[in-house]
Amino acid sequence: MRKRADKDHEIIVKRRSKKGHGDEHGGAWKVAFADFTLAMMALFMVLWIVHPQTLEQPKAMGDQQTNPLVDGGVGVFDGASRTPLELDGLPAPLHREAPASPQPPEPVAEADPASANEALARRIQSSEELQQLARLIRDVSGTVDALTNIEVDVVPQGLRILIKDDQQRFMFQRGNASLDPHFRGLLAALAGVLGKVENKLIISGHTDATPYRRQSGYDNWNLSGDRALRARNVLVDNGLPPKNVLQVAAQADVMPIKPDQPEDGANRRIEILLLTERAESLYRELFGEGYAQAQVSASGARYQAPAKP
């Protein structure tokens, strides 16, 4: 409402509505907000309690919770038991197909030298068979207390068996072919093994380089040949078929084990070479009828072609 006091001045009057002093500055809204906050907190707590746990549990605990009929819930040793218990009045759990337990292996009897000897093939060829024969020979040598007197190695031609002296015993008396009883027993044991196979043998005698000569001209060549022949006879006398021996050779001192020490006693030995079929065939081609030969006589030389198989 405007009033004019005079011509030049205009008076403006403002009218305001009257409000209560308590309505503007009261605390009723705070109480309502506190109630709302408390209700929300209670809601969150309830949701957190009823929410399912997603943490990873041990396998045994999970089995116990999901299958309460498992014996004890946890296995005795590893917590992996799956055997259900027969409980009267309770429903049986779902049947689980148990994995088939592996059958225990058949007990393997320890092979003694006699049974292994019988199991050998009549003619051995492969490296595995040669290794088996080498182990058998070592076992048999151990039964006669001769492990220090024998060496067995698989070689390209077959099996190499080396019989040698030791620090206490000599195989032969010095200067002759008289065989020591200990080595006679070793050769007899070897005859029982080598007689079970058809592979051919080459037996060779070796001496050291010590000069040896009798008045009659008997030297290391004669001595090594006599010793090899004596070893052959002992083998045959103890069961080795005579046809299994393909050659008896005298080597004297031309094949020493210790070339830098030719007079060392380690060079005195008997060697038995068990031939594979291929090595035997090569030997027969070289010395037998399967090889071309030239025969020389007083009437002249004659060529002989190899025999046809």
**What per-residue confidence (pLDDT) applies to 30?**
84
The predicted pLDDT at position 46 comes to 86
pLDDT value of position 50: 80
Residue 122's pLDDT is 79
Give the tens place of pLDDT for each residue, 103-157.
554 443 444 555 455 545 578 889 999 999 999 999 999 999 999 999 999 999 9
Where in the chain are the domains? 122-289
pLDDT 10s digits, 293-308: 556 666 666 656 655 5
In one-letter notation, the amino acid at residue 142 is G
CATH for 122-289 is 3.30.1330.60
pLDDT at position 78 is 41
Are the C-beta atoms of 236 and 247 separated by less than 8 Å?
Answer: no
pTM greater than 0.85: no
pLDDT for 9 equals 65
Residues of the chain with pLDDT under 50: 1, 60, 63-64, 66-95, 105-111, 115, 119, 309
Residue 209 in tokens: 């380089």
Residue found under tokens 């079929």 = 277
pLDDT at position 105 is: 46
Q: What is the pLDDT of residue 232?
A: 96
